[in-house]
Amino acid sequence: MRQDRLEKYRKMLLEMRQEYQAELQKVSNEEKNRDRTEAKDSVDQADSNYSVDYQMARTEKINRGIKEVDEALNRIRNGEYGVCQVCGDEIPEGRLQVRPNALYCAQCKEDLEKRGEIK
């Protein structure tokens, strides 16, 4: 892939990373606020368990997103960016523009999802 294209995707990835980190910050702030209210009165236990699970799922999802972005940035550095990790085909640019952290081509991603290996 041409250098100027790579640079464009690198910028997009860095922006994505910042958004993820802002999101992570938001979740952890919500967490702190929740802890404070719960210290005052522990109301509905089931409800608060649900909220902990939800927060954890969100944090996990964001962390996974950051990992994908970091992986894509590494691949730019190694000159492997835009190549499917499974079949080695080039990932179409149309797909990278929508999802610059894509690690697989659409076909392989679908296969992996069907097998339950990625979500």
Binding site for Zn ion (CB under 5 A): 84, 86-87, 105, 108
| Residue with Cβ nearer Zn ion (24 or 112) | 112
Contact between residue 51 and residue 23 where contact means Cβ atoms under 8 Å apart: no
- Name which of 76 and 84 has its Cβ closer to Zn ion: 84
Instruction: Provide the angle, in degrees to the nearest 10, between the axes of the packed helices 3-40 and 45-78.
Output: 160
Least CB distance to Zn ion at residue 114 (A): 14
Contact by Cβ (8 Å): 112, 86: yes
Residue 86 Cβ vs Zn ion, minimum distance, rounded to whole Å: 5
Q: Which is nearer to Zn ion, 62 or 91 (CB)?
A: 91
Locate 48 and state its tokens. Answer: 């608060």
Torsion sign over Cα 103, 83, 101, 75: positive
User: How near is the Cβ of 89 to Zn ion at its closest, in Å?
Assistant: 5
